[in-house]
Amino acid sequence: MRSEVTGLRKTPLNDAVRRLGARLVDFAGWEMPVQFQSVIEEHQAVRTRAGLFDVSHMGEIDVAGGDALALLQHLTPNDVGSLAIGQAQYSALLTPNATFVDDVLIYRLGPERFLLCVNSSNTAKDFSYLRASAAGLRADVEDVSDSYAQLALQGPRAGAILARVTGADVGAIRSYHFVEAEVAGARSILSRTGYTGEDGFEIYLPPGSAESVWDAVLEAGKADGVVPCGLGARDTLRLEARLPLYGNDIDETVTPLEAGLGFIVKLEKGEFLGSAILHDQKEHGVPRRLIGFEMTGRGIARHGYPLRVEGREAGTVTSGSYAPFLKKNIGLGYAPAGSDRIGQRIEVVIRDAAVPGIIVKTPFYKRRA
C-alpha cells in the first residue's frame, strides 16, 4: 500500500496504529510509528512488562532448492549447516571483502528451504545480491516481503501473553527457535527472537490477518500492561543491548569481527566469501573495533558526532542516545586497535565542545536469565 499524500509505503497496521495515536515518521520509505505515548514509557514497558511493535516493514526473502544451503554457506559467515529445521540464526550477508551487505536472521524452514529476515532499507539490494549469487545454482530466491506482516512482542510477560492467543506450547520454544502455529486464528511463524535485549517473540503472519492479531495480542496482554511501541523505543532498547543497527553501526565498510560479532564468524565451517580476510583479522587482530561508551560529562552523543580517542579523531559516533532504563547517556563507535580497552577515556564532540566519556563493558544492559 502506498499513501497518495506522502508517497510512503504503509504496513497493514497503518490504520490500527493511527487509531492508537501513533506519531508516524518516514522510516526508509515506510510510514512507521516512532512513538505512541512516550519513548521512555514504551522502553520501560518492554524491560518490565511487554511491548508490541509493528515491524512489518522488515523484508523477507525465501531461498529454496538443492543448492540453497550451499548458497547461504557461501554468502554468510555463520554455519547455516548447523541449523536444525525450526531453528533461527543471526548472521550477515557478506561482500567479497567480508563486510556487511546486511545483517540477517536465517530461519530453516525445511531441509532445502530457508527464510531470511532482512532490513527493510536493504531488501531490494539483498534480493538482487542473492539472486545474482544464485546464478547457475539450484536455488530459487524470492522476495516474499509482501506475503508477511511482522509483529514483535517483547518483554518478560511476552510468553504469558502469547500463550493466551495460540495453541502452540509457547514455553517449549527455545531462544532462536520457531514453530509454525496459529496465533489468534492466523497461520504464523512464531519465533523466539527479538531486537530489544529482552525475552520475546517475532510473529510472521499473512498481512490480511495483521490487524486482528495485533488487536488480539493487545487485548490478551491488557492485564499484564502490554503497550504498543514505536521504532523510537525499538532503537533505544536495541542500543542498551548493544544490538547493531545497519547503516549506523555496521555497513559495507566494516567486517563482523570489527563490529564485535565474532560469534557469527565460524571459520571452521570452511571457505566462504571473505573468509580469508576474517582469518587474517582473527590471527593478527582488527584495525578498529566497535566499542561502547558511557558519557561522563554532560551531553548526549548522537550518530555522526566526532569521536576522539587519545586526542585524535577516531571516527564518529555510530549510535548514541539517552538510555531510558540505565538512565545514562551511552553510545557506540569505532576505536582504533590499542585504544579500545574498557576504561579508556574518549571524547565526543558535541556542538563544538569535547565532552568526556569512557569505554565500558557491553552490552550496556543484559537481562537477568
Partner 1 sequence: MSEKRQGYPSDLKYTREHEWVRLEGGVGIIGITEYAQSELGDVVFVDLPEKGRALAAGEELGTIESVKAVSEIYAPVSGEVLEINETLREHPEKVNGDPYGEGWLVRIRVGDRPEIDRLLSSEAYRSHVEEGE
Q: Are 323 and 240 in contact (CB under 8 A)?
A: yes
Q: Which of 138, 174, 298, 361 binds partner 1 (CB under 8 A)?
A: 298
Cα–Cα distance, 305 to 349 (Å, whole number): 6
Nearer to partner 1, 26 or 180 (CB): 26
Strands 149-154 and 59-64: unpaired
Instruction: Decide: is 324 part of the binding site for partner 1 (CB under 8 A).
Output: yes
Choose the binding region for partner 1 from 45-53, 72-80, 316-324, 335-343 (rule: CB under 8 A): 316-324
d(CA 243, CA 261): 10
Q: CA 173, CA 226: separation in Å to the nearest integer? A: 21
**Residue closer to partner 1 (CB basis): 166 or 236:** 236
Which span sits near partner 1 by CB under 8 A: 73-81, 162-170, 264-272, 318-326? 318-326
Which stretch of DSSP H or E encloses residue 93? strand 88-94
CA pair distance 43, 50, nearest whole angstrom: 9
- Identified binder of partner 1 from the candidate list 277, 300, 349, 354, rule CB under 8 A: 300
The residues near 283 (Cβ < 8 Å, ≥ 6 apart) are none
Residue with cell 530489544: 196
Least distance CB 237 / partner 1 (angstroms): 11
C-alpha cell at 34: 516512532
Least distance CB 245 / partner 1 (angstroms) = 14
**DSSP result, 237-287:** HHHHTT---BTTTBSTT--TTTTT-GGG--GGG---TTHHHHHHHHHH--S
Identify which of residues 279 and 303 has a Cβ nearer to partner 1 in the complex: 303
Binding flag, residue 236, partner 1 (CB under 8 A): yes
Nearest CA to 104 among 83, 65, 271? 83
Sole window of 65-73, 194-202, 257-265, 317-325 interacting with partner 1 (rule: CB under 8 A) = 317-325
Which residue from 35, 89, 209, 281 is in contact with partner 1, where contact means CB under 8 A? Answer: 35
Q: Shortest distance, CB of residue 25 to partner 1, whole angstroms?
A: 9
Residue 38 lies near partner 1 (rule: CB under 8 A): yes
Task: Say whether residue 299 binds partner 1 (CB under 8 A).
Answer: yes
Alpha helices in 31-166 (DSSP H): 39-48, 68-75, 123-133, 158-163
Distances (CA, A) of 242 to 134, 200, 335: 33, 17, 16
The yes or no reply on residue 34 touching partner 1 (CB under 8 A) is yes
Residue from the set 154, 193, 321, 362 that interacts with partner 1 by CB under 8 A:
321
| Closer CB to partner 1, 284 or 327, in the complex | 327
When asked if residue 351 is in the footprint of partner 1 (CB under 8 A), the reply is: yes
Minimum separation from the CB atom of position 348 to partner 1 (A): 13
- Interface residue list for partner 1 (CB under 8 A): 23, 34-35, 38-40, 232, 235-236, 298-300, 302, 321-322, 324, 329, 351
